[in-house]
Structure 1
């Protein structure tokens, strides 16, 4: 893919992007629920076992109350009789029941957590698949206007935040809500007056949580936004270290990172503060409730309205209701952060896709490589850059495209490959409009070698075979020989099985370019696109590659973007571009005779070389 932003010959345009804050929480939650409903049966099972676990847990205080009352009844008359009368058989029985209850509760909780983990990971996996598919469908302009680091941050950091919250936070939140409902119901069965006091403190804590929760969404949104910018900045600086050091920009870079880092620190600090500020507030409400309940409860015990065991059970239920409220506060804030992250992920999924391939797409029975431009107009925005190009390239012709930086040479190639859509006009291959062809089929007709070589982590043979599935090792070696790459490949530690990666310093930039050329040769395309394909090799190697390319281009339509005009003297047609339009065309001798732009560029290079 030819990227205008990276090409030295690109037409410049505004690539600044404004990152918006997460605003529509309700819409995001609804979308999340719809995704979760795809696993509704698993969620139903999770909720069932959650209720089972809570039912056992909430039965325990009542069993405790019976044990305490049994002990109390056995010792309350000790001052009169002089001995204890505790029924230890009942105590043993109640202890065994408690043990069984806790075991069953733990087992139900184990099943619930396991299934919820599966639900969470399945959801995140489905989102990752959708993002992967989406990123292959968005137009090239999306990558021109979004930093790589920010896209990676959304896919990794934001999705990880969503995964963590779903796996633990969401289930804890459901558990907390059910626990509060169950605990309040049991408190009402014990004493409604004490319950009203407990509910009042719970409601006050809930109001405080709600108020702080509403404010927290902006803090978490700002934090994720700052994190994305920071990651994008770091990725940009790491990949450009050589340029940074060459121009002694270390101090400026450090200052820039410090500003971004300080902003991230500030946003993170605010987000964490708002999270941990809730706990002391809720605990204060709880302590006030404890004091009131203990005082009034003592009066009820003296009056004989309640037993000591039930008061103890009531306090346990207050704990069970208040502790989940504190947890819910933390989880609610965590969910706010996850919602902000999820919105950023959904923004990718909501991006406009490239225009869909035609349903009844065509194919070319015997591709020859005729290419026609009919009044082609194009602009990155509203303003047109290419204002009506008409061009006819016959099959097998070698067409060179030259011109000053920013003239639109790479743009022209991008339009042929349909990386960008035309504003108007048509481009045809063998008489068929390229919009009537499936994109994958269209691009299969082309072989391409870019100015910037690209290799992935893998063996040499896999990198060469990237252009053609199921290529044999003999075919791979033949392509490498034609590209003059076979010799240096054999000098590598494991030859064609040598694994290439970023740390592999034994491969020079020129050798990487040779591998890319071998990849294009192996593709055996009908149309070749060479964007300064020999720019990274030495003069001797360039001559060898040029000879190989001449053999490869025989019988194939070829488009060659060139800055060194000495490499395209034998082109059948030379297109001279300036400001997005073809201003001259012809062969080398005719263009020199015109004494126009081509002549000026050629003579300037010739004079420079002689100097």
Structure 2
């Protein structure tokens, strides 16, 4: 995305705060005018006491009082302006983060699969923080700087036209120097930002899997990879800061030349009685005031280039295509029948995974899906829940094509227990209820039926004990996830290796609870331990994205085919 396009998109976030922006600009005008009028009064004070015995104390006192009042007005205007600028900058990034979070909830899983968690977190936190810094500098210094330049020119022309014209003609030199440097520093800021996010993603990946790294002795290689990326970040950061830091001294050098030239020419005018000492002091003060914004603006431009580089990465998420449009219709499930009609799907074009899958599920049936790793079992669940959209075919629930209903209403019909658990940093009750309202008795019944009550009641505060993913074992986490589904009592169930982290004895007890929950409900069960699905009404055996066998457990054993070999292999004794 071009810098101009990124800037235009960024300004769209400023529009809701136009009132504060106008107020900030107005206060900037007041601050600049008072700040620039003070040197005039100082110049008049100087002209009141040029020689001994020629000091007008009354007039000097009047000017002094005016200076004091203007200083107070300037301080008040500057303070309120800074408050307005802070409010705008942090409100804008608050809106931006909210939009990113909203967008993530509506992005297809394919986008999240292609971007690491560290990368997304880096864009949402570090990059947005950099945008807020750039905006704050822009509001605080850029507007004030531009207003200072314009009003200073007006004040200077009132004192001496010739010197003022000279100052204005020399000022573009500083601007072009700053522009040339900022143009070359932007590329380095982009490289710095990209490398920083790579480093963040790598740290998140390594720290989150430290046990595996240590157990496999991968620590040294991980450190070497980290060191390489860290050195790249150091290199790009140093180059970006170095190039950008040239802006300020370069513009200051140009401004110093201008200042020296004004002193020389002004002195000549004083000798010719065309200018007073007080007027020259005012002009020098104005020249300094006039040149200072160029230094400030050059610093702002450098920081803003970094902010735009970060904004470009943030807008890649905000502008990413959302899930395909959906119908607003609500799915109403009564019979719970499911039909797969010639469904095909592939994650990568020209590499088919699910190939022409068709089967019928009667209401209340328990369907087991088995097969070797990578055959497409979990992908079928992803298609059923519309986490991914199928390439061909249709899936019907009670005769309704799931493509013709909203994803929310579809997913409300299912309760899911996955192999990967998710426990948030909250109380046990909050983890179980997930924003819903349940009575104490309902929660306890669900916990007892799932055998999670045994360890919950031993906690210091029972259901009100605060937990996180590190305070519980994997088995305990999975029991809580199972209990969570028990509470919502969904119309249909999906169990994807739901008891993989539970010991054999507890698994038998939980399986009994599942049987009670699944009674009368259409259920889809993915399992590697085939002993857990021998009572399924229909078993679908998959291989390379196709259903190669189907039937009950006894029927498939009688066929003595792929399923029979798979089942028997789990009970073979190693001699």
Q: TM-score, normalising length from structure 2?
A: 0.97
**Offset at residue 502 of structure 1 (A):** 4.1
Partners of 2:370 and 2:376 lie apart in 1 by 9
Indicate which of 334, 340, 348 corresponds to 2:303: 334
**Offset at residue 574 of structure 1 (A):** 0.8
**Offset at residue 191 of structure 1 (A):** 2.4
- 1:220 is matched with which residue? 189
Whether 1:117 aligns to 2:82 is no
- 1:43 is matched with which residue? 21
Whether 1:55 aligns to 2:33 is yes
Indicate which of 534, 544, 553 corresponds to 2:518: 553
Whether 1:569 aligns to 2:534 is yes
Whether 1:312 aligns to 2:281 is yes
> Contact between 1:461 and 1:473, CA under 8 Å: does it hold in 2?
no
Partners of 2:65 and 2:297 lie apart in 1 by 32
CA gap 1:582/1:503 in 2 versus in 1, 3 angstroms = closer
3-state SS, counterpart of residue 505 of structure 2: helix
**Offset at residue 503 of structure 1 (A):** 4.5
- 2:382 is matched with which residue? 414
- 1:371 is matched with which residue? 338
> Contact between 1:576 and 1:582, CA under 8 Å: does it hold in 2?
yes
How is 1:441-452 mapped onto 2 (pairs within 5 angstroms)? 441-452=409-420
Q: How many equivalent residue pairs?
A: 574
Identify which range, 179-188 or 245-254, moves more after superposition: 179-188
User: What's the CA shift string for 1:168-192, capped at 9, x where partnerless?
Assistant: 3333111111111222232233223
User: What's the CA shift string for 1:293-346, capped at 9, x where partnerless?
Assistant: 111111110110000001000110111011111111110111111111111111
3-state SS, counterpart of residue 49 of structure 2: helix
Whether 1:489 aligns to 2:459 is no
- 2:171 is matched with which residue? 202
- 2:203 is matched with which residue? 234
> Contact between 2:149 and 2:290, CA under 8 Å: does it hold in 1?
yes
**Offset at residue 200 of structure 1 (A):** 4.1
Partners of 2:422 and 2:19 lie apart in 1 by 46
**Offset at residue 113 of structure 1 (A):** 1.3
Partners of 2:165 and 2:544 lie apart in 1 by 78
User: What's the CA shift string for 1:450-474, capped at 9, x where partnerless?
Assistant: 00111111111111112x7111121
> Contact between 2:85 and 2:139, CA under 8 Å: does it hold in 1?
no
- 1:183 is matched with which residue? 152
How is 1:495-510 mapped onto 2 (pairs within 5 angstroms)? 495-504=462-471, 507-510=472-475
Partners of 2:354 and 2:568 lie apart in 1 by 27
How is 1:73-472 mapped onto 2 (pairs within 5 angstroms)? 75=51, 78=52, 84-359=53-328, 361-364=329-332, 366-383=333-350, 384-466=352-434, 469-472=436-439
> Contact between 2:355 and 2:545, CA under 8 Å: does it hold in 1?
yes
User: What's the CA shift string for 1:133-177, capped at 9, x where partnerless?
Assistant: 111100111111100001011110111111122223333111111
> Contact between 2:167 and 2:287, CA under 8 Å: does it hold in 1?
yes
- 1:478 is matched with which residue? 445
Say what the alpha-carbon RMSD is for the aligned residues: 1.4
How is 1:510-589 mapped onto 2 (pairs within 5 angstroms)? 510-589=475-554
**Offset at residue 201 of structure 1 (A):** 3.8
Identify which range, 380-389 or 298-307, moves more after superposition: 380-389
Partners of 1:562 and 1:172 lie apart in 2 by 62
3-state SS, counterpart of residue 151 of structure 1: helix
Partners of 2:211 and 2:404 lie apart in 1 by 44
Identify which range, 114-123 or 136-145, moves more after superposition: 114-123
User: What's the CA shift string for 1:78-134, capped at 9, x where partnerless?
Assistant: 5xxxxx221111111111101111111111111211112222222222212211211
Identify which range, 531-540 or 161-170, moves more after superposition: 161-170
> Contact between 2:48 and 2:54, CA under 8 Å: does it hold in 1?
no
CA gap 1:574/1:354 in 2 versus in 1, 3 angstroms = same
CA gap 1:327/1:29 in 2 versus in 1, 3 angstroms = same
Identify which range, 125-134 or 62-71, moves more after superposition: 125-134
Partners of 2:330 and 2:251 lie apart in 1 by 67
**Offset at residue 33 of structure 1 (A):** 2.0
Q: 5+ unaligned residues in a row in structure 1: which ranges? A: 1-22, 79-83
User: What's the CA shift string for 1:343-363, capped at 9, x where partnerless?
Assistant: 11111111111122213x043
Partners of 1:469 and 1:367 lie apart in 2 by 23
Partners of 1:289 and 1:441 lie apart in 2 by 70
Identify which range, 429-438 or 195-204, moves more after superposition: 195-204
> Contact between 2:259 and 2:288, CA under 8 Å: does it hold in 1?
no
Partners of 1:170 and 1:225 lie apart in 2 by 26
> Contact between 1:377 and 1:389, CA under 8 Å: does it hold in 2?
yes
**Offset at residue 227 of structure 1 (A):** 1.2
Indicate which of 37, 44, 66 corresponds to 2:44: 66
Instruction: Could you list the structure 1 runs, at least 4 aligned residues long, displaced by more than 6 angstroms after superposition.
Output: none
- 1:607 is matched with which residue? 572
Partners of 2:442 and 2:6 lie apart in 1 by 51
> Contact between 1:158 and 1:345, CA under 8 Å: does it hold in 2?
yes
User: What's the CA shift string for 1:39-79, capped at 9, x where partnerless?
Assistant: 2222111111111111111111111111111111xx1xx5x
Partners of 2:139 and 2:77 lie apart in 1 by 17
Q: TM-score, normalising length from structure 1?
A: 0.92
Identify which range, 216-225 or 243-252, moves more after superposition: 216-225
Partners of 1:258 and 1:530 lie apart in 2 by 42
